[in-house]
Structure 1
Amino acid sequence: MSHSSLPVLFNKQPILSTQNTLLGFHLSLDVVGQKTLDEAQWQDAIAELNIEVEKSGGFDNLTKGLRTFYSAPTETLKVSSLPNFSHDNLWIEVHSSVIENKTYLTNLKEILGQGIRLSIQDYQGSEKDKKLLSIAHTVKISSQAHSLDHIKVLTQALPNNTDVILTHVDNEELREKLLAAGFTQFEGHFFTEPVIAIQAKPLEGSRLALVKLLASLNNPDITFEEVVNLIKTDAVLSHKLLSAINHPSNDLPHFIDNLKEAVSFMGLKRLKFWVNMIMMSQVDDVPKELLATALIRAKFLEAVAVHTGHQVDSERFFMVGLFSTLNAFLKVPMVDIVDKLPITDEIKIALTQQKGSMGKALFIVRALEQGNTQFIMMGHEGMNIMEISSSYMKASGWANQTLSAL
């Protein structure tokens, strides 16, 4: 099996608090399909992972320096085989079955000796789980595998100093039930699947204004002058745009203090992206991680376009990724939003039904977010698993760097 075709997927899940504050991430390294790797192949895979993450700005950029829970096949969990993580905020996630293997226990002791902490994966309250609690003070419980009543029973029996994180929280309705039951840490992309009332309110007020502004901005026939005039109507938008342009990361030769110069400097495509992003960031009552998700999806879909022979449509792939979260931002069905946007039927179908080449790419990134590796068994139009994994990591790194300018 060649280095570039190893069936290894690197994935990332956010962990959020009761206030939707980002607490950290779960990073996982998984073999996709019914394949196994030998030790040399795992070393290859981890070496490639380190290279790809460095291209994305390093692990600190990928995880924003927050708590990081890393899970991988047990045979790779030894100090010499860990990716290039900083140990300060690192937890290694293990299943309680490790206590049955002396080699793995020895490896864990060495890991603990490096100042790295342990978390119990898929905690079920078994005798093996309870033994592992003596060295692991964080447990993860699957909200998918257990009823709420059973989760309560499991957590009530835990020692008082145990940190509990609920996993597989993939929609807002489930998160609200868990929140009402007193739980405080949730792993998953629940914020991309909002609760929308059956009789959803029509778009109105500031949110209707946002969609109208997005519609005008993304009209394919819009001119530089029209973009400038649109931005001028919103003082906050103008200020944020100039602040973003003058961010140190852009390394400008001089300070830009007016919109006309900003337009000339950025070019229409880049300007439209920044205005789209700033407008979406101004929506109230949504977690900041939702904007990061929008950017990751956009950049990932752009990479898919390049990898699969759709480079001429890369801008449209990017737009589908960016706009795919508008239903979560606005708390209205996607079908109601696309009707108000000047987009082609192909883009509308991609956003509402995940069909067509752009829709398939959107389906893949959403499955990645949910940690669902089954979808990828056949790859995507010739992209192998490592290419998909690498593109997702690069998109995550790019999104974090881009958001730092806001």
Structure 2
Amino acid sequence: MNKHQPLLARQPIFDRDMAVYAYELLCRDSHENRAIVVDGDQASSQVLLRAFTDLSIGEVVGEYKAFINFTRNLLLRTPPFSRTQLVVEVLEDQIVDNHLLASLGQIRAQGYTIALDDFTINSSSFKMLEYADIVKLDVLDLTDEELRYHVDYLKPLGVTLLAEKIETYEMLEHCKSLGFELFQGYFLSRPQIMSGRKITENRQTILQLLAQLNDPSTDIQAIEHLVAQDPVLSYKLLKLINSAAFHFVCKIESLRQAITLLGLIQVRSWITLLSMASIDEKPRELCVSTLVRARFCQTLGEAVSSTKRGDSYFTVGLLSTIDAFMDAPIDELLQKISISETIRDALLYYKNVEGKVLEIVKLYEKADWDNIDWGWLEEHGVEASALSHFYTESLVWVTSALESLVFDAK
């Protein structure tokens, strides 16, 4: 296996309304289940080159900004990339001297946005605040008292405060109350559960649809009837299937025609996604990340199993975020949906090949390279370079699919 193939992942950064503000692009060199020394210059350079040259930045982050880590060596050179989308993120362990400060001044003067990563106030770090637009605070690394102290110190300076490593809904709300404007972390993939909360009528109706839809005994005629009862869902499905994501030469004009060409399992998956996307008060990014995960699971599943149709892998990726959509534990939700035992075991216990693929994809999304089972992938004929390709291909593919997905009031 190629141990030095660049790996790229992205993590969304949200504003107070839970709309995407930007993505941070992540890279590491470690492909082994042990700690190794990472070359920061190489990692950052690989992300820059992959995002701006191997791919177009629009394919990676769309219209949003891209936060990319910059080491001291990279900061001392003028970044030759788009100042409208690139956010220069200064890593926390850089030596702060006159050379670095002068470079930050030049970068700022050229119109780039500068963010300070994992910032803590000390005798040298405060000197960079003059050049900073955004300051990122690690909510897991700071006590609540320290967090409040930093907020009180930084807010009068006019910088935008970003809370990173938010892993719970409660911490998100707490940081909002402190005055943070931007938020980053893995909380979106988890349900926002409140004591005594009931599933709303909107969610209950959709859950009933999903139960019928994913019942293996439900045939084509029954699915046609289900979708026909919802004209908006029918319209969205046909619009989606006729998008650039599917590359059909002829126009698809009926659900039966779509099932014939795509297959019953895949059509079920798309109706499931469209139904979940219509849930009230859920951010658009949850649908985006779900679709990226589903496509990534599909392409990786096809590679490890040598199959041309990875529909079951797509379904596993799709249903893996149902708890965040429904605001209820996934094990309780799956009891109400008649899915196959294979998919259930994959979702709950990471069992079987589908489960292994889902586990690897979720680790990849978090850039947790050290815990990915590279040996298992190699045994199944997948190199690190292929995994990186599958992920970036999923981002590009989802961009095409999203042109036809409608997110009203998201």
**2:163 aligns to what?**
166
Q: Secondary structure at the match of 1:151?
A: helix
Instruction: Tell me the TM-score normalised to structure 2 length.
Output: 0.83
Q: Which amino acid aligns with 1:49?
A: R
What is the distance in 2 between the residues matched to 1:254 and 1:7?
39
For residues 302-317 of structure 1, what are the structure 2 equivalents within 5 Å? 302-309=298-305, 311=307, 314-317=310-313
Q: Deviation at 1:146?
A: 0.9
What is the distance in 1 between the residues matched to 2:73 and 2:132?
19
1:123 aligns with 2:119: yes
RMSD of aligned Cα (Å)? 3.3
1:240 aligns with 2:236: yes
What is the distance in 2 between the residues matched to 1:73 and 1:300?
30
Aligned residues: 397
Identity %: 24
What is the distance in 2 between the residues matched to 1:354 and 1:200?
28
1:213 aligns with 2:248: no
**1:285 aligns to what?**
281
Assess if the C-alpha contact under 8 Å between 1:242 and 1:258 holds in 2.
yes
What is the distance in 2 between the residues matched to 1:105 and 1:7?
32
Q: Deviation at 1:330?
A: 0.4
Assess if the C-alpha contact under 8 Å between 1:11 and 1:28 holds in 2.
yes
**2:7 aligns to what?**
9
Q: 2:141 aligns with which of 140, 145, 148?
A: 145
**1:196 aligns to what?**
193
**2:36 aligns to what?**
34
1:402 aligns with 2:404: no
Q: Secondary structure at the match of 1:119?
A: strand
For residues 384-403 of structure 1, what are the structure 2 equivalents within 5 Å? 384-403=383-402
What is the distance in 2 between the residues matched to 1:316 and 1:344?
10
> Structure 1 residues 114, 355: CA separation in 2 closer, same or farther (over 3 Å shift)?
farther
Q: Which whole-Å deviations, capped at 9, do the CAs of 1:257-295 have from their partners, x for residues lacking one?
A: 554555556554543333222111111121111111211
Assess if the C-alpha contact under 8 Å between 1:11 and 1:27 holds in 2.
yes
Q: Deviation at 1:221?
A: 4.9
Assess if the C-alpha contact under 8 Å between 1:200 and 1:332 holds in 2.
no
> Structure 1 residues 101, 34: CA separation in 2 closer, same or farther (over 3 Å shift)?
farther
Instruction: Tell me the TM-score normalised to structure 1 length.
Output: 0.84
Which is further off, 328-337 or 191-200?
Answer: 191-200
Which is further off, 203-212 or 249-258?
Answer: 249-258
Q: Deviation at 1:154?
A: 0.7
Q: Secondary structure at the match of 1:20?
A: coil
Q: Structure 2: any 5+ residue segments left out of the alignment?
A: 406-410
> Structure 1 residues 59, 48: CA separation in 2 closer, same or farther (over 3 Å shift)?
closer
> Structure 1 residues 11, 255: CA separation in 2 closer, same or farther (over 3 Å shift)?
closer
Q: Secondary structure at the match of 2:27?
A: strand
Q: Structure 1: any 5+ residue segments left out of the alignment?
A: none
Q: Deviation at 1:106?
A: 6.8
> Structure 1 residues 44, 206: CA separation in 2 closer, same or farther (over 3 Å shift)?
closer
**2:50 aligns to what?**
49
Q: Which amino acid aligns with 1:291?
A: C
**1:60 aligns to what?**
58
What is the distance in 2 between the residues matched to 1:385 and 1:170?
28
For residues 307-386 of structure 1, what are the structure 2 equivalents within 5 Å? 307-309=303-305, 311=307, 314-376=310-372, 378=374, 380-382=376-378, 383-386=382-385
**1:23 aligns to what?**
21
